[in-house]
């Protein structure tokens, strides 16, 4: 097992990249999808169940964990890995996105952001230095710079000011992170939908030097077409020899499109949140388990899926437990969705290795266009 953090590109097909991130806690195969474990748990899942789907890394949330149970408490109890019983790598976000979304509860300055807790109204200040300290206390393997997630839409002047603030905060994050062998700090490119600002942001980040780079400020309401437009050039501005992480994405077709444009890592609450609300992802698109068409259907959600929901239960049963609001519903549907996402990532890794990624994309879209299997 390596004592360092390193990225190796193993193959490429078009812009799609196959690689591996090596860290002291294990390897992360890329392209990678990171399930979101906001408050120290991937909702409705046991950690070993998450690992069984093929996930090499999960995401933890600085904002939520700093408020409850606090980073200091987690540190005293042995760090986040031990606390939540997850031995593989963990990436923590900086807290910036959540704080920015509290627009009526926060006050921003050059120093950082002062905000009121959504839990009890207590006041807190988050700065680049404090964000680095919290993430160090949590013990995460990949740490994100503290940044301002520029709202959308933003006119060029507002976006430029926001991007420049994030770059100053990136420098302070780098200095506060210090020398931590085996841990990585990722910089976050900003600039909204403006190519010149993305270019400038990338130049400033490269001058600071990070172990990886994220494309931030997308999936915030701009729509897929505009997101892809930015991804047609933004990842190319970042170093070729470092992992590239698209934050907060997304739907399966967003993920495939992002990988096709050179992205290596993604995260999103969608598969877990959807599992709890009865939305199911399959190779044939999205189905809603609460629909009456499933109530007498003895077939699995997806005959090609190896998850427990598909192996052991019928659509009729899953429909029943969802309607009855039984806990097992959220558990089984979440497990299925996470399995679907990890199978999708493995399919893309295989296709890039075999240089058949174009064919993979065509098959992926064609299958989804067919829609769900015919009702009985």
Q: Which helix (H) or strand (E) holds 280?
A: strand 279-282
Cα–Cα distance for residue pair 92/81, rounded to 1 Å: 12
Cβ atoms of 332 and 308 closer than 8 Å: yes
CA distance 37 to 252: 19
Show which residues are catalytic: 93, 267
Q: Please give the span between the terminal C-alpha atoms of the chain, in angstroms, as a whole number.
A: 51
Q: Which element (helix H / strand E) includes 10? A: strand 6-13
Q: List the helix and strand counts (H, then E) for the chain.
A: 15, 16
Residue with tokens 């780098």: 174
What are the structure tokens assigned to 45, written together? 């899942």
Q: Where are the alpha helices (DSSP H) in 354-373?
A: 357-370
Structure tokens at 240: 């070729």
Q: Would you say 10 and 20 are in contact if contact means Cβ atoms under 8 Å apart? A: yes
Q: Pick from 176, 164, 25: which is nearest to 91 by CA?
A: 25
Collect all residues with Cβ–Cβ distance below 8 Å to 98 and sequence separation of at least 6.
61, 63, 64
Rg of the chain (C-alpha set): 21
Contact between residue 333 and residue 278 where contact means Cβ atoms under 8 Å apart: yes
Length of the chain: 376
Beta bridge partners of 28: 21
Return all residues near 284 (Cβ < 8 A) that are at least 6 apart.
302, 367, 368, 370, 371, 372, 373
């Amino acid at each position: 097992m390596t004592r360092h953090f390193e990225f190796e590109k193993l193959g490429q097909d078009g812009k799609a990249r196959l690689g591996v991130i090596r860290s002291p806690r294990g390897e992360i195969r890329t392209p990678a999808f990171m399930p979101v474990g906001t408050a120290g748990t991937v909702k409705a899942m046991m950690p070993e169940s998450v690992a069984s789907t093929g996930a090499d890394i999960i995401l933890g949330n600085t904002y939520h964990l700093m408020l409850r149970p606090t980073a200091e408490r987690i540190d005293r109890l042995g760090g986040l890995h031990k606390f939540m019983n997850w031995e593989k790598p963990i990436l923590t976000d900086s807290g910036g996105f959540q704080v920015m979304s509290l627009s009526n509860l926060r006050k921003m300055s050059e120093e950082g952001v002062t905000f009121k807790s959504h839990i009890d109204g207590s006041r807190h200040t988050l700065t680049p230095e404090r964000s680095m300290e919290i993430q160090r206390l949590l013990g995460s393997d990949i740490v994100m710079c503290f940044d301002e997630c520029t709202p959308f839409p933003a006119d060029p002047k507002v976006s430029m000011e926001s991007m420049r603030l994030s770059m100053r905060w990136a420098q302070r994050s780098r200095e506060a992170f210090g020398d931590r062998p085996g841990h990585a700090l990722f910089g976050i490119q900003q600039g909204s939908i403006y190519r010149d600002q993305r270019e400038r942001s990338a130049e400033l980040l490269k001058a600071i030097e990070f172990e990886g780079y994220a494309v931030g400020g997308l999936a915030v309401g701009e729509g897929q077409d505009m997101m892809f437009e930015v991804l047609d050039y933004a990842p190319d501005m970042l170093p070729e020899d470092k992992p590239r992480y698209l934050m907060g994405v997304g739907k399966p077709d967003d993920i495939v499109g992002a990988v096709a444009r050179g992205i290596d890592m993604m995260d999103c609450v969608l598969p877990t949140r959807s599992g709890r609300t009865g939305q199911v992802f399959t190779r044939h698109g999205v189905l809603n388990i609460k629909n009456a068409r499933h109530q007498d259907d003895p077939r699995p959600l997806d005959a090609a899926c190896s998850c427990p929901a598909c192996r052991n239960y019928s659509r009729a049963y899953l429909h029943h437990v969802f309607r009855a609001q039984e806990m097992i519903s959220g558990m089984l549907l979440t497990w299925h969705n996470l399995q679907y996402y990890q199978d999708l990532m493995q399919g893309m890794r295989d296709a890039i290795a075999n240089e058949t990624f174009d064919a993979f994309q065509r098959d992926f879209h064609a299958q989804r266009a067919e829609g769900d299997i015919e009702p009985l």
